[in-house]
Structures are given as structure tokens and as C-alpha cells.
Amino acid sequence: MTSKIPKKKQLTASEMGRLGGLANAKKGKKYMSEIGKADVAKAAAKNSKPYCVGFAAETNDLEKHGQEKLVRKNIPMLVANIGPDTFGLDENQLLIIEQSGNKKTPKLNKLALSRELIQLVSTKI
């Protein structure tokens, strides 16, 4: 499948490193605006396989914004969190949003959460 995601700007290795190691959401907005509005999840969801899971780091109104993204991107599952609450920490809490309902995970270390998420997605494919 070829996707028609527009290329806005090629990032250098240094810019990619800064983007991956953001310290706060304000910087994230600045860098995300530089790379454009490519919606990879929406493009991937057009194909029935593989199972598409979207991820969202929000600053507020987690359930509302997450539900809106799930619908807008037309994906079966969205995993969301309050991004600034987790920066630099070993623990996280996720909100799993699906059309059938939402489930909040307990606050766990990120490795345990990733294992739970993999197990959940494996039941969907």
C-alpha cells in the first residue's frame, strides 16, 4: 500500500534527537508543526491489516480528546495519556479507548504497561 502522506521537511539527525527527547509539550508543538501534519495512523487504518493502534499524549481532557481522535482517524484502538505527567518518570497510566468502551490501566512501570498493551492488542488480531 502506498500512502499519500505529504512530506513537509526532512529532519536532520540532530532535529530527530531533539524531537524524540522533548522535555515538555510546548516544545513538542513547535517541533511537530515543523514536520507537518502527516497523519500516519489515519493512513495506516485504511488497510485492514495490520491492526492499527493510535497513540496520543494529551495535556488535558484525555477522554474527550482521545475519543475525538479515535473517530477522526477511524482506528479501532487509541492509547492515550497525559503526556506531561509522565515525562522523566518510570511509571505511567494509560487510557485505552475503543468504540466498545474505555478502560483505564492502573499506574504501573512503563515496561509492565507495554507488556499489558501487547497482550491486549494480541487478542484483537
What pLDDT, on the 0 to 100 scale, is given for residue 50? Answer: 72
Neighbouring residues of 49: CB distance < 8 A, sequence distance ≥ 6: none
What pLDDT, on the 0 to 100 scale, is given for residue 119? Answer: 94
Q: Which fold has domain 40-122?
A: Rossmann fold (3.40.50)
Q: Give dist(CA 14, CA 48) in Å, integer.
A: 35
Neighbouring residues of 2: CB distance < 8 A, sequence distance ≥ 6: none
What pLDDT, on the 0 to 100 scale, is given for residue 38? Answer: 63
Domain-by-domain residue ranges, the chain? 40-122
Query: pLDDT higher for 50 or 21?
Result: 50
pTM of whole model > 0.85?
Answer: no
The pLDDT mean for the chain works out to 77
pLDDT digit string, tens, across residues 31-87:
444 445 567 666 766 766 678 899 999 999 999 999 999 999 999 999 999 989 888
